[in-house]
Structures are given as structure tokens and as C-alpha cells.
Amino acid sequence: MKISREDVLKVAALAHVELADAEVEMFRSQLDSILSYVAKLDELDTSAVEPMAQTLDSGSASSEGTPLRDDVVVPCAIREEALAAAPDPAPPYFRVPKVIER
């Protein structure tokens, strides 16, 4: 077994996702089969291989590169609209349950 019930609960807590009891066992067994499958990567010797995080070179000015823009501050005047999409806005803030006890 690749992953236990406790592992699922620990990872769900890290990810801030509440799982129902039935979901914990369903995910455990499904993730177990997925992790058993992806273990096939161990067949490959990658000790001399560089990891690839991105398929494009960054910062290059070549025709296929992704040059960085100049570091200039540009105003973004959508504060009211952004707050309007929030479930509990308190302009100019987003209100959340109290986190500081006095």
C-alpha cells in the first residue's frame, strides 16, 4: 500500500480541504492505484538528467524567448470591481473570520 488513511488526512489538512469520511477512503484507494502506476518512473535512470520546469527559455531576447518587461509600476484601477466580487467585502478590505484573539 502506497498511501494510508492518515496520509490522506494529513495532505488534505495541508491543502485546507475538508473531506467527508466516505471521501477519505475513496481517495485513499484511488490515490493508491495512481501512485502505484506512477512508480513506473523508477524504471528510468535519471541521475544525469536535468529537470525541466518550463519549455521556453526565460529572459532571452531570441525569437522564441520570453523577454522580461521593464520594471515599471503601472496603475491598476480595479479595486472597487475586485472587491465587488468578494463574498464579504468591507471596502477597502476583504473581511474574514477573526484570526487574532486578545
Partner 1 sequence: MTAASNGGGEWTVASVAAALAAREISARELTREYYERIARRNAELNAYLALCPERAYAQADRVDALVAAGSALPPLAGVPIAIKDVFTMRGVPTTCGSRILEGYRPPYDATAVERLEAAGAILLGKTNCDEFAMGSSNENSAYGPVRNPVALDRVPGGSSGGSAAAVAAGLAVAALGTDTGGSVRQPGSFCGIPAMLPSYGRVSRYGLIAFASSLDRAAPFARNVRDIAAVLDAMAGRDALDSTSAAAAPPQSLAALDQPFRGVRIGVPLECFPAGMNAAVREKVEAGIAQLEQLGCTRVPVRLPHSEHAIAAYYIIATAEASSNLARYDGVRYGMRVPGATLMEMYQKTRGRGFGNEVKRRIVLGTYVLSSGYYDAYYLKAQKVRTLIARDFANAFAEVDLIVTPTSPVPAFKLGERSDDPLSMYLADIYTVTGSLAGITGISVPCGATTDGLPIGMQIYAPAFGEARLLHAAHAFEQARAKAQMN
Q: Is 71 in the site for partner 1 (CB under 8 A)?
A: no
Query: Which of 21, 43, 71, 73 is in the footprint of partner 1 by CB under 8 A?
Result: 43
Return the CA Rg of the chain.
23
Q: Is 21 in the site for partner 1 (CB under 8 A)?
A: no
Q: Is 99 in the site for partner 1 (CB under 8 A)?
A: yes
Q: Is 58 in the site for partner 1 (CB under 8 A)?
A: yes
Rounded Cα gap, residues 16 and 4, in angstroms:
18
Q: What are the C-alpha distances in Å from 18 to residues 10, 57, 62, 66, 99? A: 11, 39, 47, 39, 19
Which of 25, 31, 44, 26 minimizes the C-alpha distance to 3?
A: 31
Query: Which of 1, 64, 73, 92 is in the footprint of partner 1 by CB under 8 A?
Result: 64
Number of residues binding to partner 1, judged by CB under 8 A: 60
Cβ contact 10:40 at 8 Å? no
Residues in contact with partner 1 by the rule CB under 8 A: 3, 7-8, 11-12, 14-20, 23, 26-27, 30-31, 33-35, 37-44, 46, 49-56, 58, 61-69, 78, 81-82, 84-88, 94, 96-99
